[in-house]
Structure 1
Amino acid sequence: MGMAQSVGRRDSYADTGAGGEDLISALPDDVLVHILLQLRDAAAAARTSILTRRWRGLWALLPQLTFADGIEHHRIVSALAAHQVPDLRGLRVATRHASVEYLAVWLPIVARRLTGSMLLRVVWHDNEEVAELEPEQRGEILLPCFQRATTVILEFSFLRLALPPSGVFARLKVLELVGIHLYGQCSLGNALSSPRCPSLQILSVQNARGLGNFTIHSKSLLELKLLKLPDMQQLIVGAPSLQMLIIMGCFTDGLNPSQPVANISAPRLELLLWTCDFVPSSLQLGEMAHLQCLVTGNFFVYGPISFALQNRCCMSIPQHFERLSVLNLYIIYPPVIGNTEYLMEDMTSLPDVTILNLDVTAYVHSFGASVFHVLRMCPRLKALCLKFPVKPSQLENHISAVSGFDVYSWTCNLMLNVCIRRKDMMTDLDLAGGDALAAVISAATRWTNTHASLMQEKATFLNTGVSVVSISALQDDLTCAVVTCHWIILVMKAKAQTAFCSSDCICDQPPHWKTEELLLDRLQEVEIWGFTGTEHEVALLKRKNGNFY
């Protein structure tokens, strides 16, 4: 070994020429490999071979391989063939030139050698011709069985993915699937339940298609996240060790007439976030004696009578529990109330909570009545956090940027991945409450053909997380109604306006909250976010019969 090191030194010294001694190249291989790892790019590591003969081939000893954004798949195949480490601890691939044929070649190679984590991100949108193809036209890939991998993260642009019908993911602890289109005979639940995935602890499925029914029975699962799965109609979870369950934007296929059903058995669950509309009779929750924190969906203070169903769905989850440590509630006012109904009476009871996080989207309206309605149901409250996420000035600035439109919209926090006519026309939007439609129209005006259809009598917006939005001409106005997300939008051809509270606005009703006694004798802490000193905010805090001063 000393001779080899001496030869290596002579080679490196010779390669440096008159520039002096190359001390770095004299370092042991494991140190040089560690240096190359810091480049986080296998191609860049390979290019160091031009420095000296000493560095030649060192990249092939890297325990982890990272292929930078834009790598072509045939280069990945060549790199894996030249790679000399039998056990691959990590692989990261980001490509904009996906090839199903090459994926089918190199994924099985990785599956046999991977002992750590893999992140594979496939983006199609750089190639418009490919992006226009339906998922079945883009090709399909059979996911191999990763028997020794611990973490697998797949981010596809709705590439069709079939799961292996056999094999055991023996060491897999973390699996994240984003933007996949499932097909084939093997179901996701069959592949990931304990018999074939005995070590799985964290499972996240986001923005996927083809997942109509999902049944999983896992003894090891600790965290389950299901986000934006509109096709889902049946969810069955049996997970005795599950601690966190997040369900958002699922069961939203408004074109499917069947009633979705869910059955959750997670006796050790500690955190539950559920923001999907669900008929109470179709949701079965088992015993959850360890639940500490519950996060619900939006509760509408005013609106048409049809919103009462949304509110009952929102309240169906809290009513399963007698007491909770932490409860997160979101109460929503429309920018313009008009002659709509007061719906707070739909909230008839709450669990016995210790900490209440109450988000109030009130725009310019008085919100004292709704807040006190909630607080009256929390007599044992010890800590209260009030948040005011949307300010009128923010809404005005956002809407005024949409030239030619007035937007009155109900809040829709799940308005993500807006798809207009063509499924590939998708954009991720990070929306604050209340500006959902403004963002939709702002996005639509960036596409000439969509903007033209918007001005015609009828246009259809398809959204993976929301269902169907219909826009039709109504005299000189356009009226937009959403089927499943329960928000109504009015778009007018006039000067831009914002939310307003008229002198005869009914937002201050019922008025008895100003004089009614409110006893919160255990309240120790009040935290307020977004407080700007508006009249309505100050009025709430000045209540002298309660614990606010």
Structure 2
Amino acid sequence: MAGGRRPHGGEDHISGLPDDLLHVILARLGSARAAARTGVLSRRWRQVWTQHPKLVLHNEDELPPALFLDSVDAALAAHSAPTVEFLSIFLPIDAPRVSACRVAPWLLFASQRVMGKLHVFVPPDPQMSSSPTPEAEEEEEKELDIPACAGATRIELYLDETWRLRILQTAGLFAALTHLTISAARVEGSELSALVTGRCPRLKELYLNSTIDISIRTDSLESLCWRVSNTKRLEVIGPRMERLTVCNIESFMISAPKLAELDWDSQVVVYDPRRHVFADVGLDRRLRLLKINSESIVASLLQRFDSVDELKLDICIPQEIFGYQSFLNETNKLPICDTLSVSIHVNYHRLVPVMRHLLRSCSTTRKLSVAICNSHGYDLMYPCPSSCPCRLAENCRLDDITLGSLEEVEISYFTTSEEELEFVEQLSRCNAAVLKKIVIYYTWRPNHTPLTKESCDKVRSKCSSNLKVEFYVISNMTRWVRFD
């Protein structure tokens, strides 16, 4: 109202808004601190934010670390709503070390109020080395109690790696919890096993980046992501588990008859069927998704399954002839796949021979997706030996490869290099009767030619006339748009 005058009832329009609408307005502000500042608008608004069901405590104002921590404590103390749908506390990545005892009251508040999502991010001490000595780890380690959060449906804890989490066993269930993430901080295997097995009856997704050896039996778990580098033994019995990600586990026994997606992301430990046992996984030898990173492509894992809906491979071949020959041997037989997605690092060996070898196993493949991770000149500065099989003329052509079911081809991170042009030209010469279109996603990189109409025409000129080639570029760093 003009001049700030109140209506005849004596109350201004803002104060007359219903609480539900005020909460919607506050939610759009994005943080509890911004919501608290609305108190200057109206006397009634001074307390409205304390009833808001969402508490977002991030340091958007870039307060000094100590002042921001005090503001988090004050916001939690002032908040009077009986339940909180969403609590997010995010400390800046460059913040000084925070003690575990400072965070403990935040988790206690969450255990009493949160009836939805809890997200806490505490960065590691920036002064610590990336690989502290065992003596330093023991000296620095602090304990943080995790109380039962009966109403929390999703908990994500990204904590200091020197902390040890103690999951209190005295009383209480995580009765509503469906998703749990624990990253960096350490957890005793026995405590985590007791939590997952007996106190989380609805847990469906478990993401771990911190623990040790563990045995889990759960009837509710559907997805397990295990990215722990020091796990020597993992045992999981999950009759409903459909998705599994493992990383650097020395040995495991997995019983998951419904497993449909396997992501093998080990950088150090190679799959060994004697130590990595799938007790009753893939009884029909079929998966929906099999994803294997560059360090773990071995024939025994690829041949563990006869068919997959989508096969994702990350290819990075060492420079020596032995490395290339090892790649040929380990990928000599691929499982039948409807979609083949390849991320290939073009460092030392030629692109076309590598793809030729893979495509030999793809006569029934319907879709091919190739992400070309360009070498930035490594292939020229450090080429493989001249006697490498990738240099043989018969391995540099695809016109004798039959891809009778291939309908779609996508090529990403395309830069119009000569090697990429050669690949597109050879691909268009395959015996692929139903292939009508190739979609190319161009990515600009320094020292590479920008995409132009002329370069698009050059690519098309190398393809067969009945093949349509479309180009896409990124627009405003957010979405792909058609270039021509």
Partner residue in 2 for 1:143:
146
CA distance in structure 2 between the aligned counterparts of 1:187 and 1:116, rounded to whole angstroms: 23
CA distance in structure 1 between the aligned counterparts of 2:154 and 2:246, rounded to whole angstroms: 22
CA distance in structure 1 between the aligned counterparts of 2:420 and 2:74, rounded to whole angstroms: 66
1:315 aligned to which of 299, 309, 315 = 299
Report if aligned partners of 2:369, 2:409 keep a CA contact under 8 Å in 1: yes
Partner residue in 1 for 2:108:
108
2:264 aligned to which of 250, 260, 274 = 274
1:25 aligned to which of 9, 15, 40 = 15
CA distance in structure 2 between the aligned counterparts of 1:79 and 1:359, rounded to whole angstroms: 46
Q: CA deviation at 1:370?
A: 3.4
1:34 pairs with 2:28: no
DSSP 3-state at the match of 2:340: strand
DSSP 3-state at the match of 1:120: strand
Report if aligned partners of 2:308, 2:337 keep a CA contact under 8 Å in 1: yes
1:113-192 to structure 2, matched below 5 A, reads 113-125=113-125, 134=137, 136-158=139-161, 159-166=163-170, 167-183=172-188, 186-192=190-196
Structure 1 residue runs without a partner (length 5+): 1-8, 252-259, 300-309, 397-496
CA distance in structure 2 between the aligned counterparts of 1:153 and 1:341, rounded to whole angstroms: 42
**Residue-pair matches, total:** 405
Tell me the amino acid that sits aligned with residue 85 of structure 2: R
1:306-345 to structure 2, matched below 5 A, reads 311=297, 314-334=298-318, 336-337=319-320, 342-343=325-326, 344-345=328-329
Cα gap change, 1:80/1:331 in structure 2, threshold over 3 Å: closer, same or farther?
closer
CA distance in structure 1 between the aligned counterparts of 2:108 and 2:343, rounded to whole angstroms: 48
2:291 aligned to which of 288, 291, 295 = 295
Q: CA deviation at 1:327?
A: 1.0
1:80 pairs with 2:76: yes
DSSP 3-state at the match of 1:107: helix
**CA deviation vs aligned residue, 1:82-104 (integer Å, no higher than 9, x gap):** 32211222211123462322333
CA distance in structure 2 between the aligned counterparts of 1:58 and 1:509, rounded to whole angstroms: 74
Cα gap change, 1:13/1:238 in structure 2, threshold over 3 Å: closer, same or farther?
farther
Tell me the amino acid that sits aligned with residue 274 of structure 1: W
Q: CA deviation at 1:153?
A: 0.8
Tell me the amino acid that sits aligned with residue 20 of structure 2: D
Partner residue in 2 for 1:529:
412
Report if aligned partners of 1:241, 1:268 keep a CA contact under 8 Å in 2: yes
1:110-509 to structure 2, matched below 5 A, reads 110-125=110-125, 134=137, 136-158=139-161, 159-166=163-170, 167-183=172-188, 186-193=190-197, 195-206=198-209, 208=210, 211-227=211-227, 229-248=228-247, 250-251=248-249, 260-276=250-266, 277-285=270-278, 286-288=280-282, 289=284, 291-298=287-294, 311=297, 314-334=298-318, 336-337=319-320, 342-343=325-326, 344-363=328-347, 365-393=349-377, 498-500=381-383, 506-509=389-392
CA distance in structure 1 between the aligned counterparts of 2:203 and 2:374, rounded to whole angstroms: 39
CA distance in structure 1 between the aligned counterparts of 2:394 and 2:175, rounded to whole angstroms: 62
**CA deviation vs aligned residue, 1:104-154 (integer Å, no higher than 9, x gap):** 33422320221111111112436779x986365252111111111111111
Report if aligned partners of 2:351, 2:419 keep a CA contact under 8 Å in 1: no
Report if aligned partners of 1:365, 1:536 keep a CA contact under 8 Å in 2: no
**CA deviation vs aligned residue, 1:323-352 (integer Å, no higher than 9, x gap):** 112111233233x44776622123342222
CA distance in structure 1 between the aligned counterparts of 2:397 and 2:364, rounded to whole angstroms: 21
- TM-score with structure 1 setting the length: 0.65
CA distance in structure 2 between the aligned counterparts of 1:203 and 1:502, rounded to whole angstroms: 46
Please tell me the root mean square deviation across aligned C-alpha atoms, in Å. Answer: 3.5
**CA deviation vs aligned residue, 1:203-240 (integer Å, no higher than 9, x gap):** 1113x2xx22132222222222122x111111222222
Q: CA deviation at 1:35?
A: 2.3
1:92 pairs with 2:56: no
DSSP 3-state at the match of 1:374: helix
**CA deviation vs aligned residue, 1:466-503 (integer Å, no higher than 9, x gap):** xxxxxxxxxxxxxxxxxxxxxxxxxxxxxxx9333576
- TM-score with structure 2 setting the length: 0.73
DSSP 3-state at the match of 2:294: strand
Partner residue in 2 for 1:405:
none
